[in-house]
Amino acid sequence: MKQLMNSLTKKDPEKERKAMLRLEMDYELLTLFDAMADNNETQKVKSKAKLEKIRTELLKLRAL
């Protein structure tokens, strides 16, 4: 992870943003998985909403 962040600091901001969004997406998917395992409906809704925002932004950046 540290190497990824170091390599990104020298590249253009758009590539850096794409990488950060992918990391956020991975984290949110993990959060959603935990919420599903715990049967936590509130967290599932929050995670799905955040994932939709991340997806939309990645589509705008043409990263998906």
Distance CA 54, CA 48 (A): 10
Confidence of residue 10 (pLDDT cuts 50, 70, 90): low
Q: Quick one: pLDDT band at residue 4, thresholds 50, 70, 90? A: low
Q: Which two tokens stand for residue 1?
A: 């992870």
Please name which of 31, 26, 63 lies closest in space to residue 47, comparing C-alpha atoms: 31
* CB 21 within 8 Å of CB 60: no
Greater confidence (10 vs 21) lies with 21
H-state helical runs in the chain: 2-8, 13-38, 41-60
Rounded to an integer, what distance in angstroms lies between the CA atom of residue 7 and that of residue 57? 22
- The predicted-structure confidence for 17-55, as pLDDT tens digits, reads as follows 889 999 999 999 999 999 999 999 999 999 999 999 999
